[in-house]
Structure 1
Amino acid sequence: MEKKRPIWLLFIVTALFIVAACEKNDPSDQFCDDSLQFDIDEFVEGVISDMESQNISGYQFVVNNDGTLYHSNAFGLARHENDPNGPIDMTVNTRLNVASVSKFIGAIALMIAMEERNVSLEFNVVNYLPESWRDTIHPDFRDVDSPHYLTFKKLLRMESSIDFIGSTPRPGDMLSEADMLTSLIRPPNANRDGLYQNANFTLIRVLIGEFFFQLDENNEDYDTICTDAYFKFLEERIFKPLNINPPDTADEINDYYDSPTYAMAYQWPFNESFQDPADGSLGWLHTSDPYLNGGSGGLVLSSMDLATILAFFKNDPQERLISNTQRDKIIAGELGLFESTLDGTYGVYLSKGGTRGPDGRTANGNCCDRAVRSRIMMFPNGVEAVLLTNSNHTSLGTVLRSNFDSAWKSGCNP
């Protein structure tokens, strides 16, 4: 007859088997978190690697994390040694024309003004334009039953059907006050609804002029006075409260372009042997007219300036820049943030880019594809990024998005 083994012996054998099995495994594998984690350093390193491996003239890159500066670096030259007064290093404080990134700041400015005057995004724009304009504007823009009824929300989302005059519908010209009025008198154009038109945002300076300065639109210098009032509002309500000091009048912006050391624009990939057939230059001495693009483009800012604005926009409980209510409306409506990615791998990536250039073409071929480009991006995990370059790098948004997506790793398999 077979003897039965004591039950306690079976327990001992089982326990020894389990202990031996555990000793063969890495203890960290038992406790690691296999959920995806964002590695901000990998994001930063990836962007730097992409930018510096692509033969670029110069760039600036700044990253905030939950409203706190996390990283800043610059690379290359603002002016090449073959250009007048070069070489000049690029730094994170070098100010560039950020072009249509100015629209995001214009949206902030208008939303500040609207809140203080108790104006809703659903209100009719016509009622807040200069008084002598109102009766001349096409009636469809103020007819609440018309599909072309012009609200502030439509204006800030590029969903107006204003048939702005100019050479091309998209992106459209930067217009004078007189040309904006002429465009509003014309019948609406349904094909312009949803079309990116710069002049939707040049109207911001007209509206802020009415809200805060009660300007006389019949004054022969109205165009100049209107732009000057807009820059005064930016200075007092955005720049000074945040302790940033960019050129903040039309005269100061014009002085920037008179400076012999401002950042020139270059081709991408950078080709230091290039010469403009017209004048033999390597870089482009671009300019910009603040009296035409105020509200829509042409602000002169550094990556540090923009990073400061993003930090206060998203993360300031004291609401020193903008109220949380108005901020949330900008975010929800993507107001001034027309290049946002709504279906990003990890959520909504709020974004706006800008381009000054590229410069013109001639019968001799491409000449010269030189530009200054800018990009801001706010990610859903509290990371904010600014990337500026004095080159015609056409993929700044892709560089930021792809490296953000690539920086998410499993805690068990870094």
Structure 2
Amino acid sequence: MKNYITLLGIFLIFATTEAQDLNTQKLDSLFDLVDQHHKMMGSVALIKNGEEIYTRSIGFADLEKEKKANKNTKYRIGSITKSFTATVILQLIDEGKLTLNTNLAEFYPDIVNASEITIQQLLNHHSGLFNFTSAEDYLSMNTQAISKQELLAIIKKNGKVFEPGEKGEYSNTNYLLLTFIAEDLEKDSFSNILEERIFKPLKLKNTEVGKKINPNKNEAFSYSRKMGTWKKEAETHMSVPLGAGNIISTPIDIAKFYSAVLEGKLLSAGSLLNMKIFEERFGLGLFQLPYNEHRAYGHTGGIDGFSSMAGYFPNEKMAFVLTANANSINLNDIALSILADYFEGNFEMPQYSKEIILSMETLTSYEGVYGSESFPLDISITNDEGNLIAQATGQSSFKLTPTSKNTFVFTPAGIKITFKNNQLSIEQGGGVHELNKK
């Protein structure tokens, strides 16, 4: 449920063959390598025609008690929850209790532009409402219980960032409101609604609305990599994300869900068609996740130290799901390897260099705001307990990985940053810019 979206992207690997037999031995070697180099802890599953064709878990669900993860370990799945929420709303539409054109004002008229915002615009992030998880004080309130009235007050206070339908922009606020609307119509808790409409019918025994993490129920804690070790992350209180990110599940159960919904087992043909209509990359609780000519539908998720991605390829009737409770790499790279194995029968093993650990003194010396008259944005550098975090003006923050004492990279965006004498050199796409510390 984090403020940014990390999609699989438009893959540039040219694959023209149909699915091959999985090289499960090589996939095992991949996850062994990832585990040995402390790049990820988590689980993966591939399901085809309803049958498991590959599962693997690495690392620990509870590092402190050395409890290893297994295929039934439950992870917080963050924004993958939105696909479940969208399915519930579309079921209500199928039952005549709503329409895509129903206005928000029928439920919450006090919210800005409520008479103009439609259910469809909430579902596909075209409402224009401010994303409440982007608020400056979000991290100071997300670990505490919060009421519906308090959340509504936050939504009203933050208002809009653009007019309804003007464009698409991801906002968790949309799915809080959809949660409330479902509860109002059904006169029940969202947890019970999900249980009766999705979890029970699909027999998802390891899927539920999360509470405080309970390791005795095989629920994973989350961790982040700091100073060469995994540190436990704080827990978001699940009264905060609601239908935007409050489900816990396993890769197998998530794969079953996407298979069912995209095979038309939960929705009418019309609602499923609407779900897969995309405006500015946003479907109704779905993203398109293409692998060359093959196209999956699914979502990604991030909450606390958890990250996840899931997709279902309708033509191949194959679902793949990655859930991680710790990672120091982009899960997209792992997904690419898995899909290359499935579609091409082979993939290139990654090369991981030795982990570089810098002193707090060195990292702190790089903190500051850097700018230049020739560069349109200032870049803020902060030291977060041993991790350098970069953030350009008005942009999402991202973690930098050291490759030497003064050189850092952010691989997903092809960014390289070098520090020298109170200057920052940033390289991206062949361009190089020199910024001075202010």
The two structures have a TM-score, normalised by structure 1, of 0.66
**Counterparts of 1:326 and 1:48 in 2: how far apart (Å)?**
39
The secondary structure found in structure 2 opposite 1:39 is coil
Residue of structure 2 in register with 1:89 after alignment: 68
Q: Could you tell me how far apart the structure 2 residues matched to 1:73 and 1:186 are?
A: 42
2:77·2:249 contact (CA, 8 Å) conserved in 1?
yes
1:342-396 CA-to-partner distances (Å, cap 9, x unmatched) read: 5x41143323111222xxxxxxxxxxxxx22111112243221011122124422
The gaps in structure 1 that reach 5 residues or longer are: 1-34, 143-148, 214-227, 275-281, 358-370
Residue 265 (structure 1) shift: 2.1
What is aligned with 1:189?
161
Aligned match of 1:383 in 318, 328, 343? 318
2:406 maps to none
Q: Does 1:53 align with 2:30?
A: no
Deviations 1:163-210 (A, max 9, x none): 3556538x9997853355443577643189422221111112211012
Distance verdict in 2 for CA 1:106–1:45, change over 3 Å:
farther
1:301 to 218, 242, 249: 249
Which amino acid counterpart does residue 231 of structure 1 have in structure 2? S
**Aligned residues of 1:345 and 1:405 also touching (Cα < 8 A):** no
The SS at the match of 2:326 is: coil
User: Number of residue pairs matched?
Assistant: 316
Measured after TM superposition, the shift of residue 230 of structure 1 is 0.8
**Cα drift, residue 293 of structure 1:** 1.3
For 1:259 and 1:403, the matched residues in 2 are separated by 31
Partner residue of 1:63? 46
Match of 2:56 in 1: 73
Using a 3 Å threshold, how does the CA distance of structure 1 residues 124 and 378 change in structure 2: closer, same or farther?
same
- Give the percent of matched residue pairs that are identical in Structure 1 and Structure 2: 18
* 8 Å contact kept, 1:351–1:377: yes
Q: Secondary structure at the match of 2:262?
A: helix
Question: 1:41/1:159 Cα in 2 relative to 1: closer, same or farther (>3 Å)?
Answer: same
Question: Residue 71 of structure 1 aligns to a residue in which SS?
Answer: strand
Q: Counterparts of 1:48 and 1:324 in 2: how far apart (Å)?
A: 39
Equivalent residue letter for 2:223 = Y
Contact 1:164 1:180 in 2 (8 A): no
Cα pair distance change 1:406/1:165, threshold 3 Å: closer
CA deviation after TM superposition for structure 1 residue 118, in Å: 4.6
Return the alpha-carbon distance in structure 2 between the equivalents of residues 166 and 265 of structure 1. Answer: 19
Instruction: State how 1:153-302 maps to structure 2 within 5 Å.
Output: 153-163=120-130, 167-168=134-135, 176-182=147-153, 183-184=155-156, 188-190=160-162, 193-213=167-187, 229-246=189-206, 248=208, 253-257=210-214, 259=216, 262-267=219-224, 271=228, 274=229, 282-284=230-232, 286-302=234-250
1:346 aligned to which of 260, 270, 293:
293
Check the 8 A contact 1:257/1:287 in 2, yes or no.
no
Structure 2: distance between partners of 1:194 and 1:255: 33
Asked if 1 retains the 8 angstrom alpha-carbon contact of 2:224 and 2:326, the reply is yes
1: CA distance, partners of 2:344 / 2:211:
47
CA–CA separation in structure 2 for the residues paired with 1:309 and 1:260: 21
Bigger CA radius of gyration: 1
Higher RCO (C-alpha under 8 Å, 6+ residues apart): 1
Distance in 2 of aligned mates of 1:229 and 1:50: 42
For residue 116 of structure 1, what is the amino acid of its counterpart? E
2:17 equivalent among 3, 12, 36: 36
Aligned AA for 1:295?
G
**Structure with more of its chain in strand, by fraction:** 2
| Structure showing the higher helix proportion among its residues | 1
* Structure 1 residues 258 and 347: alpha-carbon distance in aligned structure 2, compared to 1, 3 A threshold: closer
Question: How far apart, in 1, do the equivalents of 2:239 and 2:322 lie?
Answer: 26
Corresponding residue for residue 331 of structure 1: 276
2:319 is paired with a residue whose SS is strand
Structure 1 position 150 matched with structure 2 position 123 = no
User: What is the Cα deviation at residue 229 of structure 1?
Assistant: 0.9
1:400 partnered with 2:373: no
Q: Could you tell me whether the CA contact under 8 Å between 1:247 and 1:256 is conserved in 2?
A: no
How far is the alpha carbon of 1:102 from its aligned partner? Answer: 1.0
